[in-house]
Amino acid sequence: MAPRNSVPAISGARHDAVTATALTVVRRALIEGVPVTREVVEREASVHLRASPKEAMEQVDIVAQRLGVSSLG
């Protein structure tokens, strides 16, 4: 786990968008049977964050690291 001070901060709106990404992916997996893949997470993150897949995944990774989850990249 990275020390908190070495992980960049993100805005509350971006944090909410990352949370919405995760919940959308989980919902689609549980309810619709959509497999959880990197591509699915990238697509949802891009939509919620209004960013390119690469930029969106960087934001997801920042939140993951702040929460003590290993890097997704």
pTM: 0.81
Asked if 26 contacts 40 with a C-beta cutoff of 8 angstroms, the reply is no
Distance of CA 70 to the CA centre of its chain: 12
Taking residues 34-41, report their average pLDDT: 96
pLDDT at res. 30: 98
Distances from the Cα of 32 to the Cαs of 11, 28, 68, in angstroms?
Answer: 31, 5, 29
pLDDT at res. 5: 55
